[in-house]
Chain A
Amino acid sequence: MKVLIASVFAAGREPTPPREVAALAAAVRDAGHDVDTLVLPVGADDARLQEEILALRLLEIGHASDRLITLRFPACVLRHPDHVAWCLTGPPAAPARVDVASAHGRTVEFAQAAAGRALQWVGRVYAATPRLAALLTDPPDVVPAVLSLPWDAADAPPGVAPAGHLYAEWPAARAGLLCDAVATLGAGTTLVCAPPPGARWREEAEREAEAHGVGHRVRFAADERERREALAGAVAAVAAVPGDATGRIADEAASLGVPCVALDDTAAADAIAPDATGLVVAADADALADALRGLVASPTRARALGGAARAGLAARTGTWHDVAEELLR
């Protein structure tokens, strides 16, 4: 079977192809199928979401493949006669949470409606997390099954020893909250962030950290290797990106035995058994700072939480082989 895997990426703000596209393509290929991938550009925020949805909807891609598997939103609006949508991300926050009279609100409402409408025509719909499945259950006749993103347990890169720093993916929409929390920790506690996808993005983030008085305590990994090492050696990973419905940072941290501290409105919170495999806190700087302070002060407790997260990871997320089998059936 010719299988086309399609997704989107924030051009200029993240590497391409996204890791999950390459991993799924490899698993589908291992299952004996012919695979191609398509990763289309979208903006880093939802300012032009309506145009992007329309652009994807216009594209004629059905003739070249037997099956289309779509991943991140809004790839699910692509048209294909044999379409399986594995939604790793969804439309922005539900209309109930934004002012629908605003331009942003109308965009969100349109995106929700477009996703719901498009998914009605899709053969099967999966969501990567229960939180995402709930978001996509509109209209009610689309009921996505939950199919988790796999993450295999891995050893820390050679030479990486536990250090006193924290790790995070830079939460552009919540940079202030994260910086304020870091500012209240001891001066020796630093924050290492995933590498910025572009110089402009990095400059913006550095300005933001500087403005909150922690510019000297925040640094960005130079590349993927350094990012991985930074995560592996961290006391804890912080999940603060509100639009990330996959909770991927919690799973990657767990794969390395690092505990995750997640704000309670992130999908990472769903992947954590509070106080057993990580910590879940309210989305404010004080709560986050308290949780982080406790782990920095007690590395033994941090390691215990990380170890428990790692032990439960495989059973919770399955393997790429399992995912491919489900999406290809």
Chain B
Amino acid sequence: MTTVAVVNAVVPFLRGGAEILSASLVEQLRKRGIDAFAVDIPAAWNPPEVLLDHILAARLMRLDHVDRVVALKFPAYHVPHDNKVLWMLHQYRQAYDLWGTPLQGFANDSWGVALRDAVRRADDAFLPEARRIYTNSPVTRDRLMTFNGIPSEVLYAPLPDPDMFTTRPPQDFIFMPSRLSAAKRQLLAVEAMAHVRSDVRLVVAGPPDSEHDGRVLHEAVDRLGLHDRVEVHARWITDREKADWMADCLACAYLPVDEDSYGYVTLEAYQSRKPVVSLTDSGKGVLALVADGETGWVAEPDARALGEAFDRAAAGRATAHDMGAAGQDRARELGISWDRVIEELTR
């Protein structure tokens, strides 16, 4: 195999875990002598009917002069190719498990149902074109089987650059790096700080998905009078900044709503020997690594319970390093490595 295209769906000016993973996969393929490059196809969900345009656009594109396509996300993963392998990070969840929830994203009427069904039919029809399908977590695998009846194998995504992360003695803050977004629940973390009794602080950092996502956090800090306890850095942070905050923190907070994968933040925290605070509804992928009292703390998804978890983290400062190391052991047990990823995706 000489030429591999890594196909991803992107929204211009937004960078998250999938974009980092795509770039890392290209780099790791090249390190092994394979001519790899990224193909980013724009995605959009607003207004919802553009979903169908983007599915059609992906179907009209061709990558005839590459030996293999590795496709990652909807709707870009519908690009046709005779030798395509899927490493599925996301289906369009609003048409699946998020249908009927507040995160559904489009109207619950006959028009919305038709749109949902069109997305599902596209997945039913086109996903089996792939030679093999890998998913990034048991959650993604189970969803694909439940809704589409399509089997897949779990292939966990390693950290792009694990050596970047180091550890230092814990200071008095909990670090929460991520895109600022309702789905990542930074607002809940800020509100939890109003219930914290210890002297622990919270540092939130990451690019806001929208101006609103950054503004609500600053407004919450103002409203709750938490200026001396909470820092909000609503901007893109460099890898170096992130690694430094990780190295110095007491613990990391990672609070997604029903995340599919374990989340890079979790793996980065454990690489830095730091425990992780998460929530009972943050998803099977996250909770496969974060075990309450062993590799971190898991709270009910409300501000008071989360505040108590932050206090438990503050009280456990002496054992924080050991809990983070236990998390790293757990990640190792899951066989997360680039050698395995490349072997599977190129065989």
| A contact residues vs B (CB 8 Å cutoff) | 2, 4, 10-13, 15-16, 34, 36, 38-41, 43-44, 48, 51-52, 54-56, 58-61, 63-65, 197-201
Contacts and interface: CB of A to CB of B under 8 A. Distances in A.
Contacts of B40: 38-39
Contact of A44 (B10, B44, B65): B65
Interface of B: 2-3, 5, 10-14, 35, 37-42, 44, 46, 50, 53-54, 56-58, 60-66
A203 to B, nearest CB: 11
Given A12-B5, A64-B13, A198-B2, A43 B64 contact: yes
Main secondary structure of the interface of B (DSSP, over half): mixed
A36 B46 CA distance: 20
A313 to B, nearest CB: 30
B12 A11 contact: no
A26 B4 CA distance: 27
Contacts of B42: 38, 59-61
B57 A58 contact: yes
B53 A41 contact: no
A51 B3 contact: no
Contact of B63 (A12, A39, A56): A12
Contact of A64 (B2, B11, B38): B11
Given A55-B56, A59-B42, A198-B2, 15 more contacts: A12-B64, A15-B37, A16-B37, A36-B13, A38-B10, A38-B12, A43-B64, A43-B65, A44-B65, A59-B44, A60-B50, A61-B44, A64-B11, A64-B12, A200-B65
A66 to B, nearest CB: 10
B2 A54 contact: no
Nearest to B10: A38
B73 to A, nearest CB: 15
A136 B42 CA distance: 27
B44 A63 contact: yes
Contacts of A55: 56-58, 60-61
B196 to A, nearest CB: 36
Contacts of A52: 60-62
Contacts of B14: 64
A288 B278 CA distance: 71
Which has the most chain A C-beta neighbours within 10 Å: B2, B60, B63? B60
A34 B236 CA distance: 12
Contacts of A12: 3, 5, 63-66
B60 A51 contact: yes
A59 B37 contact: no
B41 to A, nearest CB: 7
A61 B54 CA distance: 11
Contact of B62 (A13, A16, A48): A48
Nearest to B79: A41
* Top 3 A-B pairs, shortest CB-CB distance: A12-B65, A55-B60, A60-B44
A294 B187 CA distance: 74
Given A16-B37, A198-B35, A34 B13 contact: yes
Nearest to B50: A60
